[in-house]
Chain A
Amino acid sequence: MMADTTVPADGVDRRDFINIAAVSAAGVGGLAVVFPLISQMAPSADVLAESTTELDVSAIEPGQSIKAVFRKQPLFVKRLAPQEIAAANAVDASSLRDPQTLAERTKEGHGDILVTMGVCTHLGCVPLGAVEGENKGEFDGYFCPCHGSHYDTAGRIRKGPAPTNLEVPDYEFTSDTTITVG
């Protein structure tokens, strides 16, 4: 009993130690509970499992695009016509908002296949232009009607509020005619 009430010379007594130990243990315990509570909101295993898509690109004619689905979001695959490639290469990439050349946005040996997400980098609408007859915007690529973003033939932002080029997802050619996205 005496030991509990007399404060030692350094000012720290047994009770201080017990206090700090108890509060720290409760704090660590609390954090251990908070982590799962936060983590449960991240994409679940089945959502992550949906994350690759395989596509055959052989049937796409020059100048044509197809709209596919990747991670439940639209994906544009376009075979560029020679004049579209020429138009994309005619601009000085360093003058663009998000400087990238067409070559940097395509795979070597497949310079005419442009794979991008069909998700406007402004606030996520689906741009027009992948379907025959849709408005392709002032730069003949894609046009987002939501707030007026214009993308060029390489899917680069040229005018409007979008901050970056249409995203090129991770993908690779698994054969000459098929790609695997994701």
Chain B
Amino acid sequence: MSFPWAKEYKPANDFTKWVDEKLPLPRLVYNAVGAGYPVPRNLNYMWNFGVLAGFCLVLQIITGVVLAMHYAANAEVAFATTEHIMRNVNWGWMMRYMHANGASFFFLALYIHIFRGFFYSSYKAPREMIWLLGVVIFLLTMATAFMGYVLPWGQMSFWGAKVITGLFGAIPLVGEPLQIWLVGGFAPDNAALNRFFSLHFLLPFVIAGVVILHIWALHIPGSSNPTGVEVKQESDTVPFHPYYTAKDGFGLGVFLILYAAFVFFLPNLLGHADNYIEANPLATPAHIVPEWYFYPFYAILRAFTFDFVLSAKLWGVLAMFSSILLWFLLPWLDRSPVRSGHYRPLFRKFFWFGLIPCMAVLFVCGGAPAEEPYVMLSQIATAYYFIHFLVIIPIVSSIEKPEPLPYSITEAVLGSDKDAVLGENTTPAT
């Protein structure tokens, strides 16, 4: 783990020496996020979002535990206790707005973090395991957020739960019994609300566990960087503390300003007014949509409107799940030896003019009513999405001629590297 030039932890006094002998926890922290962890010197702000996502997880756990002290997961009173939090509990409104908007900011951070990975191919060897664990974290976070949104037991909560659990009904043969088993009844009710609360409380701690594995796996090869050229020497790195504690801290400040603006001035902008109406199993809101962070996947779900061997409904469900599951294959679909999009002319074009507009279209369509032109647009974008990952990425990675890479991170930053003079180093090294 880590590079040979990493600074070693030296206990400052007898007490820390005593602790270090019995339980080297301070040493672990020092080597993980302290001066003992050398990090590439050229990271840009795209490398800030992992820390920001971790911060959001802590924020969700703290505000969530507080909300759980006042909330009751019973269909008779869940809506009322949420309103009780808003009106009666001291600072309850703030805790709830922090938690609800915290979920949105969590996803904002995760999306940027993931798309950073797409552009810089952070998923490539030797970082496949970090990527795989990241996809697991994303799936768990989606499940957690979905179940959390059900808890206030408003109209969107209820109908969201109904539509999403209804997806399982599309599975042939076992679908309907599975759906009834999942919700513990014929439609979401007390049983479903209770189990969702139980799991919503539990899963964030499971996520925290997987995050630890994610960071453990990261610390074996260390962070990648915008050039994608691996660290070669000490001059390529700086110690995490104070350099990146400061940089990440600044980024966190900016992130928090934006977050506070939402919590205090636009707390309901990202929510849906229908969720302030109590759940009514007999009336569907005119326009059911999930939270914004699920829009692209909801658009993929709804893009299938025709039967072809399998029913349209089953196609939609399969496509929605596989749109994320296929990220697991990415390390093996992209065979280019070069990581960073900065040195991959063709890959870069497909990223900016293919994948990004495709996601934007899916995002807009996922929030729009199921009418033309949105249906057709989501069909085109869904088709592109799968073609991008399954066809374009593998082909581009084998036909593309990458641009010359810098010899080292030091050369990329300083313009020259004394070691580079020794060899012919404009060939694409990795």
B312 near A72 with CB under 8 A, answer no
A145 near B284 with CB under 8 A, answer yes
- Specify which of B184, B281, B282, B305 is in contact with A43 (CB 8 Å cutoff): B184
Residue A15 at the B interface, CB < 8 A?
no
Residue B186 at the A interface, CB < 8 A?
yes
Kindly state the separation between the CA atoms of A148 and B169 in the bound complex, as whole angstroms: 19
Residue A110 at the B interface, CB < 8 A?
no
Number of B interface residues, CB 8 Å?
33
Number of A interface residues, CB 8 Å?
29
B284 near A126 with CB under 8 A, answer yes
Kindly state the separation between the CA atoms of A118 and B187 in the bound complex, as whole angstroms: 12
Kindly state the separation between the CA atoms of A160 and B307 in the bound complex, as whole angstroms: 11
A163 near B371 with CB under 8 A, answer no
Question: Which A residues touch B305, using CB under 8 A?
Answer: 160-161
Q: Which of A115-130 contact B (CB under 8 A)?
A: 118-119, 122-126
Kindly state the separation between the CA atoms of A117 and B162 in the bound complex, as whole angstroms: 15
Residue B195 at the A interface, CB < 8 A?
yes
B185 near A72 with CB under 8 A, answer yes
Kindly state the separation between the CA atoms of A131 and B54 in the bound complex, as whole angstroms: 50
Residue B422 at the A interface, CB < 8 A?
no
A146 and chain B: residue at smallest CB distance: B288
Question: Which B residues touch A44, using CB under 8 A?
Answer: 184, 191
A43 near B167 with CB under 8 A, answer no
Q: Taking the nearest CB of chain A, how far is it from the CB of B61, in angstroms?
A: 25
Residue A107 at the B interface, CB < 8 A?
no
Kindly state the separation between the CA atoms of A134 and B130 in the bound complex, as whole angstroms: 53
B316 and chain A: residue at smallest CB distance: A161
- Specify which of A72, A124, A161 is in contact with B166 (CB 8 Å cutoff): A124
Interface string of A52-80 (1 = CB under 8 A from B): 00000000000000010101111000000
Question: Which B residues touch A69, using CB under 8 A?
Answer: 281-282
A125 and chain B: residue at smallest CB distance: B284
Question: Which A residues touch B370, using CB under 8 A?
Answer: 146-148
Kindly state the separation between the CA atoms of A8 and B395 in the bound complex, as whole angstroms: 60
Question: Which A residues touch B23, using CB under 8 A?
Answer: none
Residue A47 at the B interface, CB < 8 A?
yes
Residue A91 at the B interface, CB < 8 A?
no
A42 near B180 with CB under 8 A, answer yes
- Specify which of A73, A122, A146 is in contact with B187 (CB 8 Å cutoff): A73
Residue B219 at the A interface, CB < 8 A?
no
Q: Which of A29-43 contact B (CB under 8 A)?
A: 38, 41-43
- Specify which of A42, A97, A163 is in contact with B184 (CB 8 Å cutoff): A42
- Specify which of B182, B184, B281, B307 is in contact with A47 (CB 8 Å cutoff): B184
Question: Which A residues touch B307, using CB under 8 A?
Answer: 97, 163
A130 and chain B: residue at smallest CB distance: B282
Interface string of B290-307 (1 = CB under 8 A from A): 000000000000101101
Beyond the given pairs A125-B284, A126-B284, 19 more chain A to chain B contacts, judged by CB atoms under 8 angstroms and listed by A's residue number, are A38-B181, A41-B182, A42-B181, A43-B184, A47-B184, A67-B282, A69-B281, A71-B185, A118-B282, A122-B166, A122-B313, A123-B313, A124-B187, A125-B159, A126-B283, A145-B284, A145-B287, A146-B370, A163-B311
* Interface set of A (CB-CB < 8 Å, partner B): 38, 41-44, 47, 51, 67, 69, 71-74, 97, 118-119, 122-126, 145-148, 160-163
* Interface set of B (CB-CB < 8 Å, partner A): 159, 162-163, 166-167, 169, 180-182, 184-187, 189, 191, 195, 281-284, 286-288, 302, 304-305, 307, 311-313, 316, 370-371
15 contacts between A and B (CB under 8 A): A41-B181, A43-B180, A69-B282, A71-B185, A71-B186, A72-B187, A73-B186, A73-B281, A118-B282, A122-B166, A123-B163, A126-B283, A146-B370, A161-B313, A163-B313
